Amino acid sequence: MSAPRGTADARLRAALDLTEYDVILVNSSAGKDSQAMLDLVAQLAREQDVLDHVTVLHCDLGRVEWPGTAELAREQADHYGIRFEVRRREQGDLLDQVRHRGKWPSAAARYCTSDQKRAPARKLITQLVGELALSRQAKVLNCMGLRAEESTARLHRAELQRDDAASSGRREVTTWLPIHAWTEAQVWARIKASGVRYHPAYDQGMTRLSCSLCVLASRADVVRGAQLRPELAAEYAALESEIGHRFRVDLSMAQIIELASSAGGRAA
């Protein structure tokens, strides 16, 4: 399938005028969806002559992140000539937070997303709006690479929606999901057409580039992650034992390590 540059891009151009926004923030994990989204947003911003309104943000997850991720996110932003910023949770990374809470995140309690990503992003939005020193309410477009086919929850997300929690008297924040309707095949086609380097973890068998060992990842991904990062998996297992809380209800980190070391671990 070819990169969706024709009809899809025309629809987006007609539906969204980027010149209306003072700040356009592209959240980048350096994963495939972020990368495809960045390529699209950069194209549209260049066509509308607002590339200087765009900033790429990478929330550094510390030791739980795949090696080289922050550097790759910067490389991808530099390719388009876009400002790049890194932010991180000041109180420590995810493992520090898990130890403090005594529990792992879960689908019902995604404090990892709210504290490690959403909160740092809002702080950067405050900074970017402050730099403009506008005498009116700033308009902010917060771009995220979520896709409908990834989960039921994401399927029902609106492509464009005002973020009341992030908005204030000084700024109106709108969340935009530019590639919400795209398939995984379309994402990879866009990346290959761009010629920009993607993370090598995909070629090593990973299907997503979140935390190296993510509580929300598929069984295959978390087992493969433990194979690729055995020292980190051991650290997770030690913490699991320390706090007395399983990594996942259906799968402990100790079990994941066993699967990773078995002959059929890769295909588990």
pLDDT in tens, 178-229: 999 999 999 999 999 999 999 999 999 999 998 999 999 999 999 999 999 9
Given a cut of 50, is residue 3 above it in pLDDT? no
- Structure confidence at residue 106 as a pLDDT band (50, 70, 90): confident
Chain mean position to CA 170: 26
Q: Please state, in angstroms and rounded to a whole number, the distance separating the CA atoms of residues 34 and 27.
A: 7
Homologous superfamily, domain 7-184 = HUPs (3.40.50.620)
**Strand extents, DSSP E, the chain:** 23-27, 54-59, 83-87, 138-143, 160-162, 171-176
Considering only 8-17, 45-54, 157-166, which range has the smallest mean pLDDT?
8-17
Domain coordinates in residue numbering, the chain: 7-184, 212-261
Average pLDDT, the chain: 90
Chain mean position to CA 158: 17
Given a cut of 80, is residue 156 above it in pLDDT? no
Q: What is the 3-state secondary structure (H, E, C) of 141-172?
A: EEECCCCHHHCHHHHCCCCEEECCCCCCCCEE
Q: Please state, in angstroms and rounded to a whole number, the distance separating the CA atoms of residues 237 and 231.
A: 10
Q: Please state, in angstroms and rounded to a whole number, the distance separating the CA atoms of residues 198 and 192.
A: 9
The pTM is what? Answer: 0.90
Q: CA end-to-end span of the chain, whole Å?
A: 29
- Structure confidence at residue 1 as a pLDDT band (50, 70, 90): very low
In tens, the pLDDT along 55-77 reads 999 999 889 999 999 999 999 99
